[in-house]
Structure 1
Amino acid sequence: MSRSVIFAVLGAVLFLVLGAVAGLVIGAVIGGNFFTEFRMFGVQGYEATGDLGAILGGLLGLILGARLGSRIGRPRTF
């Protein structure tokens, strides 16, 4: 495996976890204060928006982490 692929996988995993945690917290805050009647996955309010935030944050973190890791792992030419 090339260095670029290894860094892309490591970055994707790291940012997946960070994005999911951040999305969960932000979604729970938004759902607890503004969307208290929102229902999804059989739950309501902050639980539903927290779940949605974790999914979206994890997905966004996965994509951005893979791109950033791939860019960092590229060989540099001066």
Structure 2
Amino acid sequence: MEKKVGVGLIGSQFISTIHFESLTTVADAEVLAVMSPTQANASAFTKEHGILYQFTDLDALLAMERIDRVVIGTPISLTA
């Protein structure tokens, strides 16, 4: 595959860490960004995992041209 699938993570806590670690085993995927409503959490997550981009605004993450897929790792109470 020439182009890796660009992935954005929505959420920056425990479950997103599991998703990130799983995605690192997929040769054709690359986690490019994380979004969290809390700037400190987004910053800590990107620093810990070597992710290039961080957002606190969902629309900004979704507007990234290199993002092909998103993984939603938020509590169920926030998805309704």
Q: TM-score, normalised by structure 2?
A: 0.29
Rg (Cα) greater in structure: 1
Q: TM-score, normalised by structure 1?
A: 0.30
Give 1 or 2: higher helix fraction: 1
